[in-house]
Amino acid sequence: MKSKLLLWLFALALIAGFSSLGRWQLHRAAEKQSLLDQQTQLLATSAPQSLAELSRQSETRLASVEGRGRFADAPALLLDNQRRGDAVGVHVYRVFQPFGGRALLVDLGWLQLPPDRKLPTLAPIIGEQRIGGLLTPPPASGLALGPAYTQSTPQQWLLIRVDLAALSQALHVDLAPRVLRLDPKLPIGYTRDLDLLTNTLPPERHRGYAVQWFGLAFATLITALFLSLRRRP
């Protein structure tokens, strides 16, 4: 009797753990699907809003925007370990100051790194600019381990993740809570698109992992039933 009790306690703990992981995967799938649905609706029906006005808001929802301003005299921020197909490179961010708005990071696009991982030398963007694109939450960073950035040179910093609070403090600028994914049709910047799930799992992959976790929970239940009902010789 005691052995059966221990068996079921262990099995129930595993079932609870597997089920929790399955629910988390479903939650992430729903979040990402909602983000993609918002993007589809925005690109199909919404006229661009004022970048200056929306940069002052504390919201993190998607928004199509355009506006004028200048890129700040601040280092280029290169987000490391960004894949495009089989190639690995960096996403380039710069601080943009909209006229009448709050400073924010602009994703200028992707650059491939050579095999020796030597960082490219990037020229600053000078003068007044009219830009537009999608305001989005900053890219997900996963577990925040170690510093968010390293100062490779005074002109270029290598980012491990986009930590807006840490960057605001280091750059001495109050950054908006959203970043601007630059319109691919604009002439400035580098290789880019408006894919919101770059370097992360799509919703269907999360749903697939959820099925696997729930399958493990069910298999654990069946195994526990079999072992508890099996007659001992």
Quick one: DSSP state of residue 79?
Answer: E
Q: What is the pLDDT along the chain (233 residues), one digit of tens a residue?
A: 677 788 888 889 999 999 999 999 998 888 778 777 776 776 666 678 899 999 998 887 888 899 999 999 999 999 988 888 788 899 999 999 999 999 999 999 999 988 888 888 898 899 999 999 889 888 876 555 567 777 767 788 998 888 899 899 999 999 999 999 998 889 998 988 777 666 677 788 888 999 999 999 999 999 888 888 775 55
CA contacts within 13 A on the Cβ side of 168: 12
Q: What is the pLDDT of residue 78?
A: 93
Predicted local distance difference test score (pLDDT) of residue 72: 94
Determine the pLDDT at residue 160.
Answer: 87
User: What's the pLDDT score for residue 9?
Assistant: 87
Domain residue ranges of the chain, discontinuous segments joined by +: 1-45+201-233, 49-200
Q: What is the dihedral of CA 204, 209, 210, 214, to 10 degrees?
A: 150
